[in-house]
Structure formats: C-alpha cells, structure tokens
Amino acid sequence: MRIDILSVVPELLESPLNHSIIKRARDKGLVEIIVHDVREYGKGNYRQVDDYNYGGDAGMVMMIEPVYTIIEKLKKERKYDEIIYMSPDGDLLNQKMANDMSCMENIIILCGHYKGIDQRIRDYLITKEISIGNYVTSGGEIPATIVCDAIIRLIPGAISDETSALSDSFQDGILSAPVYTRPANFNGWEVPDILLSGNPKLIQEWQYEQAMERTKRLRPELLKNSRK
C-alpha cells in the first residue's frame, strides 16, 4: 500500500509515522508513506501557500494551486483509490472505514491548516472527507496520523501476532475484553482466576462474556449493529 500525505507542516507528521508499528510496517515494505511539503509548491520567494479569506472573515485559507499541482502530478503517476481530505465535517472515522481503507492500493491524504482549504479543492479534487471527531484541531496532520495508524496496523504482517488486531474493540461490533499481565497478585489486586486456569475454552467464553457485558454497559448502541 502507498499513502501520499500533503501537508504545510510536515514536521508534525514525523514522530508518529516513524516509530512503533508504523515504522516496522514501513521497514518491512508493507506500506510506503511519502510526505509532500505543500510549501515547496508555493509561489514566490515566500513559497506562499495561504491567502486571505474571500468575504473578509478572519483566518487564512490554503490556496488551490500548490495542492492542485501535487495531486495532478501524483494522479499521472498512478491510480488512486481515494483522495482524502481530513475535515471536521467529514465522515466520522470508524473501524469499518479503517478496514476498508487497509485493503486499498494507493491513497492521498490532504491535511488542511489555518482556516481550512479553498472549497474548490474539495469540490473538484477530493473524493472522500474524514473527521476524527466532533471537535476542531489546528491542522489535519494529527488527524491524518490517526487514520494512518488505524489502517496500517490492519495490514497483514504489521502486527506480529496477526490475530491481535482482529480481537480489538469494534472488530466484531463489540468492545474488547479486559486484559491482564504479571504479577497475578499486586498488593492484593488479583487477576481473575479463570485466566490462570489454562483452559482455553473457558477463557474464551469468559472473554466473550466480559466483552458483551462491557459493551452493554458502556456502548449499548454498538449491539444494534453487531454481527455476533
């Protein structure tokens, strides 16, 4: 899979995309991530990428030309499944969207900044808009890294124990069961006996009951769409 990310502050993407599972997936060649600095495509000595908001409202707006130039260049090189804009008014990110995107070949993710991007970019170039939640962040970079992380950990081979991603919350439409590690007793706070029983069938049943109980209690609305 190849992900091209367009940003005016590429530094913001560096750490999240170069550590842990994403780094390993990149090193193994499971995903190629190319960050494009939109500023390099800006005009003039100042590499201008933003301009005043028509209508006079406060806040600068990302200009169409630099973004258009990069997207058109990339589209000539390969076919893209989606050209995504990170946006607070986009479709709310969920596990199904992450699953679907993890099967794609090539995607572009455009990070907005300032007051947002010229609406014509959204009207003519963008094929999908994704929000990470009903709140506003300063730029699309951190939201984009969340999308990348949610997708990349699902690519087979990205997580060493492949079944691990499948037992995460939301994969079956329910939350995941609680997890514990050693010591079995910490200051009298004990790990449930059943997990120490060594009986995989009983443990699996217990985990399922716990997951269902947790979902009913914390996120009952998930059960309406649950496949289980």
Q: Which residues would be at the binding site for ligand SAH (CB under 6 A)?
A: 86-89, 111-113, 115-117, 131-133, 135-137, 139-140, 143
CB of 121 to ligand SAH, least distance (A): 10
Cβ nearer to ligand SAH, comparing 87 with 102 = 87
CB atoms within 10 A of CB 95: 15
CB of 117 to ligand SAH, least distance (A): 6
Residue 112 carries which side chain, given as an amino acid letter?
A: G
Residue 21: Cβ-neighbour burial (10 angstroms; 0-12, 13-18, 19+): middle
CB of 138 to ligand SAH, least distance (A): 6
Residue 137: Cβ-neighbour burial (10 angstroms; 0-12, 13-18, 19+): middle
CB of 146 to ligand SAH, least distance (A): 8
Instruction: Provide the 8-state DSSP code for 48.
Output: B
CB of 93 to ligand SAH, least distance (A): 8
Phi, psi of 150 (to 5 degrees): -60, -35
Instruction: Provide the 8-state DSSP code for 45.
Output: T
Cβ nearer to ligand SAH, comparing 49 with 117 = 117
CB of 196 to ligand SAH, least distance (A): 43
Cβ nearer to ligand SAH, comparing 88 with 173 = 88
Q: Report the residue closest to ligand SAH, judged by CB.
A: 112
CB of 2 to ligand SAH, least distance (A): 21
Cβ nearer to ligand SAH, comparing 34 with 136 = 136
As a whole number of angstroms, the distance between CA 120 and CA 33 comes to 26
Q: The dihedral of CA 106, 140, 146, 11: what is its sign?
A: positive
Which residues are CB-neighbours of 188 under 8 A, at least 6 positions away?
A: none
User: Are 107 and 4 contacting, i.e. CB atoms less than 8 angstroms apart?
Assistant: yes
Cβ nearer to ligand SAH, comparing 136 with 196 = 136
For residue 67, give the nearest of 109, 18, 13, 17 by alpha carbon.
Answer: 109
Instruction: Provide the 8-state DSSP code for 83.
Output: E
Cβ nearer to ligand SAH, comparing 89 with 213 = 89
Cβ nearer to ligand SAH, comparing 67 with 117 = 117
